[in-house]
Amino acid sequence: MALFSYGLLLFFGAILGFALAQCPDYLNYANVRHPPFSSGRYSLSYQRPEESCRTFRLPIVESTIASIQSKISDPDLRRLFENSFPNTLDTAIKYHGKTQAGEELTFVITGDINAMWLRDSANQMQSYLSILKQKESSDTNSIASLYRGVINLQARYIIASPYCNSFQPPPESGVLPSDNGGSNGDTVYPPYNNTVVFECKYELDSLAAFLQISTEYYKATKDGTFFGKFNWVNAIKSLMTVAKEMQTPTYAPDGSVNASPYTWTRQTTRATETLANDGLGNPVQNGTGLIRSAFRPSDDATIYQLFIPANMMFSRYLLSASEIMAQLPDQAGLAQEMAALATNIRGAITRHGILTHPKYGKIYAFEVDGYGSTTIMDDANIPSLLSAPHLGYLSSSDPVYQNTRKMILSGDNPYFMRGPVINGVGGPHNGPGYAWPMASIVRILTSNDDAEIKATLKEIVSSTDGLGLIHESVWSSNEHKWTRQWFSWANGLFGQMIIDLADRKPGLLQERYQ
C-alpha cells in the first residue's frame, strides 16, 4: 500500500476498495467459528481474514506474531494472540492515503461501528507501539505512516469540532459517511456538521488521546519535524481552548449561572445517555483547577463532571506533548502554557481527587464536583483509575494507587463483577453482571504478581465462547453471553499485553491456561 500521487492513489484505492468489497463482512465473519481450531481445551477459532481481505499488511506484523507465538506454550493463548494482535490492521484500517499537499491520513474504525473515535483510534495504534521504529519513520508503507495518518486526521477533527468524540471518514477516502440513528434526538451546543461528526459527546479523554498518540509517535521515532507540518499546532491550540473553557464552574461569584461552553441532551430511556439540568450536567464548584468532562470513556455521562482518570491522562500527556511543542519554531510560549496547565491539573488531582475511605484509607475518587460529593467506583474503559500506571501518570507501587486498586478489585467497587467465568471491572454501559476483558487486561498490565496475572489470564482465555476474540464484555457466570464480537481496541490491547509479558515475565507464557 505504498503512497503515490493523489490521482494514482484514488485509482488504486478504488481497486482496493472493490477487492475488499468482495470479502466477507467481518461483522458476520467474526461471529462464526473457523478452522483450523487450536488444540487446547477451548478449541479456539482462527479469526484472521484471508490475506487479500486484510486492510493493511506488513511483514513486520507477521514476523512479530511468529516470534511471540514461539514463546507461548498454551495453544489457546497462542491462538488468541494470533487473532487479536493484528485485528486493527486486518480489519479496521478503512482508509490510508495522502492528500495532494502530502498529508497522510488514516481512517480507523472501531470495528463493528463505521466511525473513528479519537480515543479508540489512538489506542488501536498503541497496540503496535512495540513495532514502531525510528528507522521506518519516513517509510509510507509502515506503522509510522499509519500513526502519522491518525495524528493528522485527529488534528483535522479537533480543529473542526473540538467537543466531539467520533467522526466520519475524510472526503479524500471516498468512504461514505454513516448515519448515526442514535443521535437524531440530540440537542448539542456548540452545533456540529454531521457529515464530519458521527457523535458529539464531549469527553476530556478524547482530547488526551490526541496528546497520547502524538507523544508515543515522537518518543518512538524522534521525528519532531512532523509536528511542524500541517495542523498539529492548531489542533493543540483548539484543544487548549476547550480545556480552559471547561474549567468554567456552574455559578459565577455573584451566584448567577454561567453560560456553559458545552451542553448535551438526548431523547433516551437511559440516564447515562443524557445530561441533567437541561444539558448542563450536575453543578461544578469553582476554583478546583480540574477540567470538566461531560462523558466518560465508556461514552456514558459522568455523574460529577470532574472526572479524575481523564484529568490524570490529560495532565500526563499534555506535559509530554509540551516537550514536542517546545522544539517547534516560535512555539515556546505555547509549550510553557501547556506545561503549566499540566502541572496545575496534577496538583488539583492531589487536592481534590484523593479522599479517605473508612476501609482502604487514602484512595482516588472516580469523580468529584468540588462541593464534597464523590463517586467511588471504577469503570472498565481506559482511562480508568486502574489504568493510571499504564498511562504513566504514577507508579504502580504508589501507596494511594495501591489502596485504590484494592478497592477497585473488590466487592466495594459497585462495578466489579464476580462469577465462575470471569471476575473483572464492568460499568453502567452494559450494566451489572457484565465484566469487561479490557479491564482484566489492564489488571495484568499493572500487576507484578505472578499468581494474579495467571489467574486473570486464565479467565480471559476461557471466556471467548470459542471464537478466539476479545469481547467487549462477558457475563460473569456464562461465557456464552457477551457483547460485541468485533471490538478492535480490546483485541489490540490483549496483543499489547502479551508482548509486554514476553518482555517482563516470559516464564508466564510457558504456563498452561486450561
pLDDT at site 21 = 63
Q: What tens digit of pLDDT does each residue of 274-333 get?
A: 999 999 999 999 999 999 999 999 999 999 999 999 999 999 999 999 999 999 999 999
pLDDT tens by residue, 353-410: 999 999 999 999 999 999 999 999 999 999 999 999 999 999 999 999 999 999 999 9
| Matching residue, cell 468489497 | 21
How far is C-alpha 302 from the geometric centre of its chain's CA atoms? 17
Query: Which amino acid makes up residue 341?
Result: L
> What is the mean pLDDT of the segment spanning 48-73?
97
- Tens digits of residue pLDDT in 66-106: 999 999 999 999 999 999 999 999 999 999 999 999 999 99
Number of H helices, E strands in the chain: 16, 17
Amino acid letter, residue 456: T
**Rounded distance between C-alpha atoms, residue 162 and residue 321, angstroms:** 17
Q: Look up residue 59 and give its amino acid.
A: P
pLDDT score recorded for residue 1: 35
How far apart CA 96 and CA 103 sit, in angstroms, is 11
The alpha carbons of the chain give a radius of gyration, in whole angstroms, of 22
Q: What is the mean pLDDT of residues 236-264?
A: 97
**pLDDT for residue 10 is more than 50:** no
Q: On the CB side of 22, how many CA atoms lie within 13 Å of its CA?
A: 8
459/451 Cα distance (integer angstroms): 13
**b/e burial code for range 204-230 (CB count within 10 A of at least 16 → b):** bbbbbbbbbbbbbbbebbebeebbeeb
CA distance 253 to 207: 29
How high is the pLDDT of residue 513?
96
Q: Is the pLDDT of residue 62 over 70?
A: yes
Task: Report how far Cα 397 is from the mean position of its chain's Cα atoms.
Answer: 24
pLDDT of residue 20: 61
pLDDT by residue (tens digit) across 167-221? 999 999 999 999 998 888 899 999 999 999 999 999 999 999 999 999 999 999 9
Grid cell for residue 182? 442514535
Residue 22 has pLDDT above 90, yes or no: no
pTM, two decimal places = 0.95
SS (H, E, C) 192-216: CCCCCEEECCCCHHHHHHHHHHHHH
- Grid coordinates standing for 35? 478452522
Residue type, 138: S
Q: Give the residue from 113, 396, 381, 364 showing the smallest Cα distance to 272.
A: 381
Query: Which tens digits make up the pLDDT trace of 96-111?
Result: 999 999 999 999 999 9
Residue 298 CA to residue 430 CA, distance in Å, equals 10
Could you tell me which residue, 325 or 133, shows the higher pLDDT? 325
Q: How many alpha carbons lie under 13 Å from residue 187 in its C-beta half-sphere?
A: 8
pLDDT at 5 over 90: no
Q: Position 96: which residue type?
A: H
Residue 367: strand, helix, or coil: strand
Q: Please tell me whether residue 299 adopts helix, strand or coil conformation.
A: coil
Of the chain, the percentage scoring pLDDT greater than 70 comes to 96
The model's pLDDT over 331-347, given as tens digits with 9 standing for 90+, comes to 999 999 999 999 999 99
Residue 199's pLDDT is 97
Mean pLDDT of 487-498: 98
Query: Is the pLDDT reported for residue 17 higher than 60?
Result: no
Q: How many CB atoms lie within 10 A of CB 259?
A: 10
Residue 263 CA to residue 490 CA, distance in Å, equals 30
Which pLDDT score, from 0 to 100, does residue 18 have? 47
- The residues near 480 (Cβ < 8 Å, ≥ 6 apart) are 465
Beta carbons within 8 Å of 40's beta carbon, 6+ residues apart: 74, 75, 76, 77, 79, 514
CB of 82 within 8 A of CB of 90? no
